[in-house]
Amino acid sequence: MKFRLLTILFLITTAYVFPQAEYVPYNHSVYDFLQRMDAKGFISNYNSFERPQTRAKISEFLKQLKEHYSELNKVDKQILEDYRSEFELELYGTQNNATSVLGSPDYNFFSPKEKYFYKIVDSSKFTLFINVTGDMESILNRDNDSKLTKSAAFTRWGGTIRGTILNKFGYYMKATNGRFWGQRSISRSINELKFNYKFNANPNEVTATDYFDNTEGYFTLDYDLIKFKIGRDYKQIGYGQYKTILDVNTPQFDYVSFDFNYKIFSFSYFHGKLLGQSSVRSDSIQGEINSVDSKYIGYHRLGFNFSKDFTLGIGEMIVYANRPIDLSYLNPFNFYKGTEHANQDRDNSFLFFDFSNNSIQGLKLFGSVLIDDIDFGKIGSGWYGNQLAYNFYLFSSNLYDIAPIDLKFQYLRIEPFVYTHRIFDNNYSNLGYSLVSPIKPNSELFYLGLSYHPYYRLGINLDLTYSIHGANQVNEQGTIVKNFGGDPNVGHRPFDQESVFFLDGVHEYLRSIAFSAVFEPIRNYFVSGKLVFENSDFGNSPGNYVAAFALLNLRL
């Protein structure tokens, strides 16, 4: 009955009652749902190039669906009901489908309502939502060649605080602690452990700590057309399963951002602080002293929504190091490539173009070209300085009327030396980890994905990946003998050859099949699993692995 009432309210409500300025995390399932709605043409002006987006913006897209509600299949109607409940405050200004441990005398852990530990909603002046979270994950990894099996498990607990003040000022903070058990060598398959300083400070298997922590947070100002943000969380930029502009395969970093949207025109900008090379020195009095070089990143993009079916974007990235923040790049409205030359050619700049097309309902095409460096007079010559990355992505929901299945296909071509730089400190990395997808320079990748929802709270995915990498030739000591531009941390050196063609070098192959499922049996309680079969051939060193992941996530 409550869901029916919510549906009626949704169909008749047009006012934006309580726009919340907080952002929806990049990995929230609503983004995949909106991607499908966008491909079907049920929503317009959806920007899948950049994540995260604000709760207010997500709610705008959910409201657009009222005109196409009758065209949704049964599963998507139920999925939409869940999102209407989750974003009820933004859509209707009510909290009828929300409950909290503190403040709700009838709180039920098995309730279908959106759950909070504590909440305050005081008209449009102030909102506060507190959640307590907990995770339990187990990992099993088997090497079929050596017959060795490794296992590990970890728990993580913590909480989040978010809210909005005067409908304009948003705030968010998340803090977690965790404990790890098992063989540490497989912990690197989990980003939060791979990047965690405390967990990796002492690499000795016996004396290393088994505890880890993480925190993120931000403060935002949302003035509808203009948004400002300062904080620390994950950002994703680019189309497809594997991002070519910015992905989440590195530690989080702090940044300030500015966004502007008006009709067909949009502008995005951020400037962030990265971690450069790290070193440790010993002092007889102070002990070990960590030193990390200064490093920064800048980004801006102009976007044009020429029609409901076609968008175009042009943007730049800049990475610079070993000096204080440069006002040239702190300025959002500046041409980075020209500024880099004016700054005496000390930095690493990128130019990119992107587009999307939805002329065929249910089929959306995306593409981008990243130019790290180029000399048009030397195109086709194999000159190492012609460094480009191509990304083609297809998303199809053409089987929508038959079954709720999404089809995804992506092709990536990353030419030699892309993302590298002759000055090591300026390579496209954070603490030595590439800022983009795991694919390396001098590689190509094919990806095919299927997503199926047999039930509105159950999602099943099949992901197939095949990649070829032209690796550098190294000796037994690991020293590079011949540089084919295949290592993101090693740029072209003065004594390296001038000509390098695509996929030159030592061929490395990776083939991967992954099955995954996410089930939400009770509101805010998630059970997920993943099974990965991986076959690799790295420098004539074949490997066959099977990895299994099981995760239980609770949010009160």
Q: What is the mean pLDDT of the chain?
A: 90
Are 317 and 352 in contact, with CB atoms under 8 Å apart? yes
Alpha carbons 464 and 451: distance in angstroms, whole number: 12
Are 320 and 345 in contact, with CB atoms under 8 Å apart? no
Bridge partners of 171, per DSSP, are 163, 219
pLDDT tens-digit series, residues 453-507: 999 999 999 999 999 999 999 998 889 999 999 999 999 999 999 999 999 999 9
pLDDT score at 556: 78
Indicate if the pLDDT at residue 208 is higher than 90: no
Q: 358: how many CB neighbours lie within 10 A of its CB?
A: 22
| SS3 label, residue 167 | coil
Alpha carbons 494 and 497: distance in angstroms, whole number: 8
Angle formed at CA 354 by CA 348 and CA 359, multiple of 5 degrees: 175
Indicate if the pLDDT at residue 50 is higher than 90: yes
Through-space distance between the first and last CA atoms of the chain, rounded to whole angstroms = 24
What tokens were used for 173? 């903070």
Which of 539, 445, 526, 547 is CA-nearest to residue 115?
526
| SS3 label, residue 59 | helix
Average pLDDT, stretch 57-73?
94
Indicate if the pLDDT at residue 164 is higher than 70: yes
Amino acid making up residue 410:
Q
Q: Is 258 exposed, middle or buried (0-12, 13-18, 19+ CB in 10 A)?
A: middle
pTM for this model (two decimals):
0.92
**Residue length, the chain?**
556
pLDDT score at 281: 83
Which residues have C-beta within 8 Å of that of residue 131, sequence separation ≥ 6? 115, 116, 117, 159, 160, 555, 556
Indicate if the pLDDT at residue 521 is higher than 70: yes
Q: Is 95 exposed, middle or buried (0-12, 13-18, 19+ CB in 10 A)?
A: middle
Which of 539, 406, 523, 535 is CA-nearest to residue 474?
539
Indicate if the pLDDT at residue 12 is higher than 60: no
- Residue 52: asked if its preceding bond is cis (omega within 30°), the reply is yes
Confidence of residue 235 (pLDDT cuts 50, 70, 90): very high
Average pLDDT, stretch 364-386?
91
pLDDT score at 128: 96
Which residues have C-beta within 8 Å of that of residue 61, sequence separation ≥ 6? 34, 37, 43, 46
Q: 12: how many CB neighbours lie within 10 A of its CB?
A: 8
Alpha carbons 400 and 40: distance in angstroms, whole number: 9
Average pLDDT, stretch 188-205?
76
Average pLDDT, stretch 177-195?
84
